[in-house]
Amino acid sequence: MDFKKEKYIKIILYIISCCTHKENLGKTVISVLLYFIDFNYYELYGESLTNEIYLKSRIGVIPKHFNENMNQLIRSHNLYYRQEVYYYYLIKRYYLRQIP
């Protein structure tokens, strides 16, 4: 069961490109969307789309490879992030540098 990095990165870029206008699109929301995409794919086809491992936490789910892939996307100049205030919380908002 190997982690499918290319598909994972494509899904992240797709989520950010479709949901950029949402005000709460931070790290937690992207993580939960990745989980639900993987879970729904598993329900339909009986196999995982990305073979990601999701860990349970008090704020939801945490994908195991999320931070390293986001850092790679930032280093390769596909994404950038800003810390923004959303109500009383400080969230990391991700933005695309170019449309995929």
| DSSP 8-state secondary structure symbol assigned to residue 26 | S
Given a cut of 90, whether residue 33 has pLDDT beyond it is yes
* Predicted pLDDT at 79: 93
DSSP assignment of 39-53: HHHHHHHSS-SS---
> Element (H or E) spanning 11, and its range?
helix 5-19
Which residues partner with 54 through β-bridges?
A: 63
Owning domain of residue 71: 5-96
Residues with Cβ within 8 Å of 23's Cβ and at least 6 positions away in sequence, in order, are 86
**Measured distance CA(30)–CA(38) in Å, rounded:** 12
Given a cut of 80, whether residue 1 has pLDDT beyond it is no
- What is the number of structural domains in the chain? 1
Given a cut of 90, whether residue 2 has pLDDT beyond it is no
* Predicted pLDDT at 60: 82
